[in-house]
Every structure is written in C-alpha cells, then in structure tokens.
Amino acid sequence: MNFRRFFLISVPYVWLLILFLIPFGIVLKISLSDTALAIPPYTPTLDLAGGWTSIKEFFSQLDFENFAFLTTDDLYWKSYLSSLKIAFLATFLCLLVGFPIAYGMANAPDEWRPTLMMLVILPFWTSFLIRVYAWMGILSQEGLLNQFLIWLGVIGEPLTILNTNVAVYIGIVYTYCPFMILPIYSTLEKLDGSLLEAGEDLGCSRTTAFWLITVPLSKSGIIAGCFLVFIPALGEFVIPTLLGGSGTLMIGKVLFEEFFSNRDWPVASAVAIVLLLILIIPIVLYQRNEQKMMEAEQ
C-alpha cells in the first residue's frame, strides 16, 4: 500500500526531473561555460570517464562571466523590458477578446457547445508557422485587410501594418487566444446558475451580478489563461521575426542572435536562464497567494 502511494507521488516528480530539471541543469551548465571553436561550441565538457579529478576540474572552470556580460550592454535589459511590455499588453488584449468568447460559449445552448469548442480548436489543425505566414499575406500593403479597408472606403492609402509592433500584437493575440478561452470557458461552464438567480432575487442588476459573481468565480480560469498566454508570449520568436519589423525588440530574437549569429551558446544560455528567472518570480508569487487563500478558507 505504501509502495503504491510512493509510486503515485513519484510520477509527477520523475516527470519534473526529466522534462524540467535535467534540461535546466544542462542549460545552466552551458551558461557557466566559455565559447570554443569546436563541436559542441563551448568548453569545458563533462568527461565522466576521467573520474573524480576531471569532474573537479570541470567545476573549477565554470564561472558567472556570461551573466556579468549581460549587464554590460543595455540591449539585454531593453529587450527583456520590451518583451515584458509586449507580453503584458498581448495578454490583456487576449483577455479582452477571449473572455466574451468564453462567456458566449458557456451561455450558448448545450447542443452548440461542442461545435463552438471545435471552432476554437480548429486552427490548431494547421501548422502554427503556416498560420503566421498567412497573416503576412493578410497584413501586407497589398494584403486582404488593406484591400478590404480601401474597398470600404475607410482608408485611402494602404496602411503599413506588417513589420510593425501592431502586427506582432495581432499575431500573438490570434495565436494564443484559444489558451485564454479554454480555461475561462471551463470555469464559466461549471458556474452554478442558481447563484446568479439568487443575486437577482436579492436586487442585483445583471451587470452587478456579472461583476460580483461571474467574474470572481471565473478568476482561476482567468489567471490560468493569462499565464498560458503570458509565458509563451514572453519568449516568442517566430511571431516577432515574421510579422515584426527590424525595430521590434524581443528577447526571443536576441536569443536567436546570440545562438546563431554569435555562436555564443554560453551567453545565449545565460539569456535563457535570466528569462526563466523573470518567469519564475510571478509564478511563485501566484502560488503563494493561492496557498494563502486556501489556508484562509480552511
């Protein structure tokens, strides 16, 4: 019996170990190394065959030089800041778009729901890359959007949208919206309708009931959705590269440059580790907040 319990508990930990801690350890190790013209392009590499002395030597060669380097050039913090700004705003826009959609879905007749759900998931059937490429066609000067707006008479001259930050926001909101919609939908769907009726019986207007009952009860879905959008948006590379202009500063692009143009895997890894730290802080804060709330409820 004890064994079974141990097994069940160990599964998520093994998962975490294999898919998070080990890769993290490898990246951390590279971030403490130096570049070299070799395969792989960094030194030192761990040679277990050399026994204890070679392991000791290996550790003595590691240092924090690359992290120090990140502070010498304002490119890095500016990119982190710009990524944070884009990710925050994109998450907020996703919430603005996603919540009404999820709300509409949750309040739709039962027989519609599977179809609506399908429509949200359907874009995933096409490759992400192809969908972003399609946006290039839509947003370009001669693209569908401009042609449509000119046809409507809203604008006289085609707008420059592609290769600007606006296109990046459109791309991120489009790509990650389903990750916002689905968790919110799942909390709204479970919402007990009688609570709203009770509220109205007690003299609440429908709008007040929405803000006092629906929104607080869907909070866990909103928070989950925001994390699911914010985290990948922060490190996004494909969307700013294809839709953004050369002025779009995002840490994903910096990472690419370090890795590919400079062949500096150690600095690239240091950039990635700092990115992870930036993500971990809000996640830990959120976790602590949740725990406190649970304790308060008990």
Partner 1 sequence: MLNLKSGAMVFAAAIAAQTAWADEVRVYNWSDYIDEELLAKFEAETGINLIYDVFDSNEVLETKLLAGQSGYDVVVPSGTFLQRQITAGVFQPLDKSKLSNAEHLWDTIQERTTRYDPDNAYSVTYMWGTTGIGAIPEKVHAVLGEDAPLDSLELVFNPENMEKLAECGVYFLDAPGEMIPAALNYIGENPDAQDVETIQKAEAVLSAVRPYVKKYNSSEYITALANGDICVAFGWSGDVLQARDRAAEAENGIEIVYNAVQEGSLMWFDQMAIPADAPNVEAAHAFIDFIINPENIASASNYVYFANGVNPETQELEADVIGDTAIYPDENTMQNLYTTSPWGPKAQRAATRLWTKVKSGT
Q: How far is CA 30 from CA 35, 52, 265, 269, 291, in A?
A: 9, 20, 7, 6, 35
- Give the residue among 170, 179, 215 at the shortest CA–CA distance from 195: 215
- Which residue's CB is nearer to partner 1, number 222 or number 234? 234
Q: Print the binding letters for residues 105-144 with partner 1: x by CB under 8 A, - otherwise.
A: -------------------------------------x--
The distance in angstroms from the start CA to the end CA of the chain is 29
Q: Print the binding letters for residues 13-52 with partner 1: x by CB under 8 A, - otherwise.
A: ----------------------x-xxxxx-----------
**Contact between residue 193 and residue 106 where contact means Cβ atoms under 8 Å apart:** no
73 sits near partner 1 (criterion: CB under 8 A): yes
* Least distance CB 258 / partner 1 (angstroms): 8
- Which residue's CB is nearer to partner 1, number 186 or number 241? 241
Q: Which of 201, 246, 295, 297 binds partner 1 (CB under 8 A)?
A: 246
- Give the residue among 188, 189, 181 at the shortest CA–CA distance from 226: 181
Distance CA 214, CA 219 (A): 9
**Contact between residue 168 and residue 135 where contact means Cβ atoms under 8 Å apart:** no
- Which residue's CB is nearer to partner 1, number 124 or number 260? 260
Q: Which of 259, 274, 278, 286 binds partner 1 (CB under 8 A)?
A: 259
Residues near partner 1 (CB under 8 A): 35, 37-41, 73-75, 78-79, 142, 163, 246-249, 254, 257, 259-264
